[in-house]
Amino acid sequence: MIQLIEPAFYGTRMQQLSVPMDIGIPFPPPVNVEFTFIDLFAGIGGFRIPMQELNGKCVFGCEFSLHAQKAYNLNFGESPFGDITELDPTVVPKHDVLTAGFPCQPFSISGKMKGFEDTRGTLIYNVFQIIALHQPKVVFLENVKHLVHHDKGNTLKVIIKDLEELGYVVSAKVLNASDFGVPQNRERIIIIGHKTKKFDFTKLKTKPRQTLKNFLEQNANFEYLNEPYTLLADYKIQPSGLIFIGYRNKAIRKAGVRAGTENLSRVHKQPNRIYSSNGLHPALPSQETSGRFWIHHEGTVRKLTIKECYNIMGFPNEFKMINNTSELYRQVGNSVCIPMIKEIATEIKAQLL
Ligand SMILES: C[S@@+](CC[C@H](N)C(=O)[O-])C[C@H]1O[C@@H](n2cnc3c(N)ncnc32)[C@H](O)[C@@H]1O
């Protein structure tokens, strides 16, 4: 039976949303609670689904996009607090695990050697304040791979150093969603802190690579490519698992392109590239305009449907999608790959809780 839950409004600045509550909640809290967590920068709940599946109870959420709040409310029956910069950390309940897929905001650090105070004015500072006050057993952070290189590696170094100053043993690793059962080449940095133990990434169980074609819909309102394109007779699987099989016949990049190299993916702007459904899909971006990639599947060239985008992020079929197409696309591109988060959370539970 589907459980009906009254929405919980956290804090004082809750936005009232018009999501009807007399419909079933696909992801109610677990019955046998084994640990608690908070869901910062919650988006549409990519952390929350796998954490709940592992019997974690979410005791606080924070997300300022009204569209994402709507989707969150519809799927979890609760509305997150809004802007984290307006959050009084004392209203956050005690919790075992703090999760945050914090926005990849350009970071400038004052460098005054004041520890985490140096990050004041950035969103990670607000996360550190919650950690300082509540000292959760585990801190579980996620960000784009580029964080490793941002400001010549300084940004990541500061985040790790600050967590250490807050009393955590920290480990970090770049992981690829394609190693966890979804056909997407999506690399993300995962940072994990615990009070005494170092998280062992080598214990994560990986899965064989999947191919995109097994995650596609059979019947839908497909958007086919309706203009000239070139398919390569000679193509190969790239080490990443992508198969660049063709391109729209648009102008190629000029700078640094040698004659005879137009069959290489990098000379074609992202929205012009075509990838085979026999390989992986490139990482879904958070803006539809920056390129929903074309795929070559069963002799046709088309775009992924929104449902297929949610499939290759590992969202369960019961997940309720709300909002217009470009908003849905933004939300899923911003989210996390659920099977990868679930495997990490499983190991967090086994090693650290
Ligand atoms: C990278 S996404 C995280 C998505 C999430 N992990 C998920 O599974 O959907 C970052 C999120 O932070 C939210 N955000 C950005 N600034 C914020 C702020 N000041 N307070 C609260 N949320 C914020 C954005 O709206 C976005 O949904």
Number of domains in the chain: 2
- Could you identify the atom of ligand 1 that is nearest to the CA of residue 331? 9
pLDDT at 6 over 60: no
CB 62 less than 6 A from any atom of ligand 1:
yes
* Cβ atoms within 10 Å, residue 3: 10
pLDDT for 201-236, tens place per residue? 999 999 999 999 999 999 999 999 999 999 999 898
pLDDT at 121 over 80: no
Examine the domain organization and report whether 159 and 45 are in the same domain. Answer: yes
What is the overall mean pLDDT for the chain?
Answer: 88
Examine the domain organization and report whether 146 and 68 are in the same domain. Answer: yes
Contact by Cβ (8 Å): 205, 231: no
What positions carry a catalytic annotation?
Answer: 104
pLDDT at 107 over 80: no
Q: What spacing in Å lies between the alpha carbon of 221 and ligand 1's midpoint?
A: 30
pLDDT tier for residue 264 given thresholds of 50, 70 and 90 = confident
- What are the residues facing 281 on neighbouring strands? 184
Residue 267 has a pLDDT of 75
By three-state DSSP, how is residue 335 classified? Answer: coil
- Could you identify the atom of ligand 1 that is nearest to the CA of residue 68? 27
Asked whether residue 217 is domain-assigned, the answer is: no
**Using CA positions, which residue lies closest to atom 13 of ligand 1?**
41
How far apart CA 262 and CA 350 sit, in angstroms, is: 49
pLDDT tier for residue 109 given thresholds of 50, 70 and 90 = low
Examine the domain organization and report whether 80 and 125 are in the same domain. Answer: yes
**Using CA positions, which residue lies closest to atom 27 of ligand 1?**
43
Q: What spacing in Å lies between the alpha carbon of 332 and ligand 1's midpoint?
A: 12
Asked whether residue 289 is domain-assigned, the answer is: yes
CB 123 less than 6 A from any atom of ligand 1:
yes
**Using CA positions, which residue lies closest to atom 22 of ligand 1?**
63
Examine the domain organization and report whether 190 and 228 are in the same domain. Answer: no
- Angle at CA 141, nearest 5°, toward 140 and 145? 140
Residue in 62, 64, 310, 342 to alter for ligand 1 test, most ligand atoms within 8 A of Cβ: 64
Q: What spacing in Å lies between the alpha carbon of 122 and ligand 1's midpoint?
A: 13
Query: 174: Cβ–Cβ under 8 A, 6 or more apart, which residues?
Result: 145, 148, 187, 188, 189, 190
CB 81 less than 6 A from any atom of ligand 1:
no
Asked whether residue 8 is domain-assigned, the answer is: no
How far apart CA 154 and CA 188 sit, in angstroms, is: 17
Residue 16 has a pLDDT of 39
Q: What spacing in Å lies between the alpha carbon of 42 and ligand 1's midpoint?
A: 6
Examine the domain organization and report whether 345 and 245 are in the same domain. Answer: no
pLDDT tier for residue 287 given thresholds of 50, 70 and 90 = confident
Strands 56-62 and 35-40: parallel
pLDDT at 9 over 50: no
- Could you identify the atom of ligand 1 that is nearest to the CA of residue 83? 20
pLDDT mean over 68-72: 96
Global pTM reads 0.90
Range of the domain at 279: 222-304
Examine the domain organization and report whether 238 and 114 are in the same domain. Answer: no
Q: State in Å, rounded, how far the first CA of the chain is from the last one.
A: 31
pLDDT at 18 over 90: no
Examine the domain organization and report whether 147 and 284 are in the same domain. Answer: no
- Could you identify the atom of ligand 1 that is nearest to the CA of residue 123? 19
pLDDT tier for residue 297 given thresholds of 50, 70 and 90 = very high
- Residue 61: burial class (beta carbons within 10 Å; 0-12, 13-18, 19+): buried
CATH of the domain at 54: 3.40.50.150
Examine the domain organization and report whether 56 and 190 are in the same domain. Answer: yes
Asked whether residue 149 is domain-assigned, the answer is: yes
How far apart CA 155 and CA 174 sit, in angstroms, is: 15
By three-state DSSP, how is residue 94 classified? Answer: coil
Residue 265 has a pLDDT of 79
Asked whether residue 269 is domain-assigned, the answer is: yes
How far apart CA 143 and CA 104 sit, in angstroms, is: 7
Examine the domain organization and report whether 82 and 230 are in the same domain. Answer: no
CATH of the domain at 277: 3.90.120.10
Range in 35-49, 80-94, 109-123, 195-209 with the lowest mean pLDDT: 109-123
Give the residue with greater pLDDT, 16 vs 87: 87
Residue in 13, 38, 41, 102 to alter for ligand 1 test, most ligand atoms within 8 A of Cβ: 41
How far apart CA 334 and CA 258 sit, in angstroms, is: 35
Examine the domain organization and report whether 58 and 114 are in the same domain. Answer: yes
Examine the domain organization and report whether 141 and 108 are in the same domain. Answer: yes
For residue 4, give the nearest of 51, 70, 74 by alpha carbon. Answer: 74
Examine the domain organization and report whether 194 and 235 are in the same domain. Answer: no
Asked whether residue 328 is domain-assigned, the answer is: no
